[in-house]
Structure 1
Amino acid sequence: MESIIKTSAFLLLSFFTTLTIADNQGESSLLWKISGPDLPQPSYILGTIHIMCAADRKADPRLASTMNQVEQLIVELTVDTPEKNARMMSAMVNDQPLVERLSSIQYAQLSEIIEKHTDFDIKLFNNMEMFAISAALLVSSFDCPIVGVEEGLEAMAKEKDMPIGELESIEEQISVLKAMEPPKRDGAWTEQEMKAFGMLPDMFQAILSAYYSEDIDAIYQLIIEQLQMAENSAELSDAVLDARNMKWVAKMPAIMEKKPTLFAVGAGHLGGPNGVINLLKKAGFEITPVYQATP
């Protein structure tokens, strides 16, 4: 249970990070080359997904090739120190027990969801923040050994003695996680609200299918449709996607000018009008999809 809690918060953030990429020759891709007149060498951006069955992860020749062409890896966040890990663990804890934070109806709803998707009693989650519970539900809903990709990418980078950086601080990620809290009130949550805030793990399967197809627009649309089920959908979409995309793209040029870089971010951040791909194009960069080679 402890390992589930430790990894859960990172998985909830967009649901998006891994090494497996499907063989797809459409107009979309999970891997894109970034070129521009001020860049001495191209950089790359990879859309990832944070959780999948280990059996579904396959080697992708594009990643090996890309890692040979870059000099650093930049991910959303690295939790590479005891201090960062402790800060994230602390953010997942709430001193007020669930029975006091939720209405009796909401408590009963959550108990039913936990019973359906885990082997645990709701009392085990008594002092966890709701975003951490939602993430734990997602992890527990998989009936297979699971893997995450950023760890794999970081291992590849370390083998090459390649520096690893981050686009966000741990405090920025915690603020996003806390924005993903379902409403607390006297009445029950609607099914729409439970879907919007990731309390129904089966919602993830459609996103996973789109990921295997490398359809970044479909991934983006599925996430937006999910977020739009919340009453504060505009605020939530901005906190989870748009505002973060804009901050990242503002930082990327200076990073790429110094060293050719592989950026790895959740695949949900690539598509859409305010997605990283479109924002980079607006900033004057040439963005080219990198497709899997056909036999």
Structure 2
Amino acid sequence: MRRSRRLISLALFLAAIFTVALSAQAEPAIWVVKGPHSTVYLFGTVHALAKDDPWRSSPKIDAAIKQSQSLWLEIPNVDDAASMQPLIMQLGMDQEHPLSSKLTPDQLAKLTKDAASTGMPGGEAVFESMKPWLAALMLSLTPLMQAGYDPNSGVELELKPEFVKANKPVKGFETAEQQMHYLADMPDKQQVDFLVSELDDYDSAVDKFKQLLAAWSAGDVDALDKLNNAEFRDKYPDLFQTLVVKRNQNFTAQIRDLLKGDGVTFVAIGAGHLVGNEGVPAMLEKQGYKVTRE
């Protein structure tokens, strides 16, 4: 009996250690790259989170943020939605060519169904004056917001005020206008492909996002690549090149410039840009830099 109790106690003790070890490993991924006089941390963000999501629970991430002297985001004015309104009107609206005229009957039927579930007054008619890329963005956000995920609670919007308060510069690899041009300058077929991809995912968007959040929180970069990029890469290769690979090349080129300077920089860009063979860490490694997972 005593032996059995000792074995049970030992099993419980080992289980507790194992649980603690797993908890210690379960944190978003962060990488570090060093130049001759510089250090760059690479952190993948999620642009919408539930309020008070405890993503800052990792001591590694917190230490990297505190020692960094500047913050680089995809765009520097991520918190200034008002300034983007004129760009949206200029680049995202098309009064002369209704959205329905660019879709097949099946695609229009799916848009009508999904638009009705958004709860927006007017349903599909709300999207009629939008270009396909803008309609796609709207449809990508709506189910997540209905499920309680808020773009105003994204990682970038928590990081930026912290750096501003500490009088540390906040810079961007792109401008909002550049980001919108990536989408608005796509040929009509690519824009429609983008919209169709969101229509295909609409019903499962929340479940997929929960899976993505779980992979991100656990630092599971393989799962992140699969969830973020794999289907996109295989099903819409031209779109993937435009929205992911070309932008990753731009990020990588600017990070190389940072590595030639000095100081410590915290780079926070969408998690999908940091994983897989076309991710920024992989591109830096191909160019001779040592990229270390912290």
Q: Counterpart in 2 of 1:286? A: 290
CA contact (8 A) 1:182 1:193 kept: no
Q: How do residues 155-170 of structure 1 correspond to structure 2 at under 5 angstroms?
A: 155-170=161-176
1:106-255 counterparts in 2 under 5 A? 106-120=107-121, 121-142=123-144, 143-144=147-148, 146=150, 147-178=153-184, 179=186, 181-183=191-193, 194-195=199-200, 201-202=205-206, 203-228=208-233, 230=235, 233-255=236-258
TM-score scaled to structure 2, two decimals?
A: 0.75
Deviation of 1:157 after TM superposition, in Å, equals 0.9
Distance 1:48 1:63 in 2: 12
3-state DSSP of counterpart to 2:76: coil
Q: How far did 1:57 drift?
A: 3.9
Q: 1:46 aligns with which of 29, 43, 55?
A: 43
Question: 1:89/1:49 Cα in 2 relative to 1: closer, same or farther (>3 Å)?
Answer: farther
Secondary structure of 1:259 counterpart? strand
Per the alignment, do residues 207 and 85 of structure 1 end up closer, same or farther by CA in structure 2, a change over 3 Å counting?
same
Answer with 121-130 or 77-86: which moved more.
Answer: 77-86
Q: How many angstroms does 1:29 deviate by? A: 5.0
Higher helix share: 2
Cα RMSD over matched residues?
A: 2.9
The C-alpha deviation readout for 1:65-89, integer Å capped at 9, x for no partner, is 2222111111111336765552244
Letter in 1 for 2:44: G
The amino acid across from 1:152 in the alignment is E
SS of match in other structure, 1:182: helix
Amino acid at match of 2:32: K
Give the AA of the match of 2:124.
I
The count of aligned residue pairs is: 257
Gaps of 5+ in 2: 1-21
Paired position in structure 2 for 1:75? 73
Map Cα deviations across residues 83-116 of structure 1 (whole Å, 9 max, x no partner).
5552244322222322333344432220101223
Distance 1:86 1:270, change over 3 A: same
- CA separation in 1, counterparts of 2:77 and 2:89? 11
Which structure: larger Rg? Answer: 2
Contact 1:29/1:216 (<8 A) preserved: no
Q: Which moved more, 1:44-53 or 1:202-211?
A: 202-211
TM-score, L = length of structure 1: 0.75
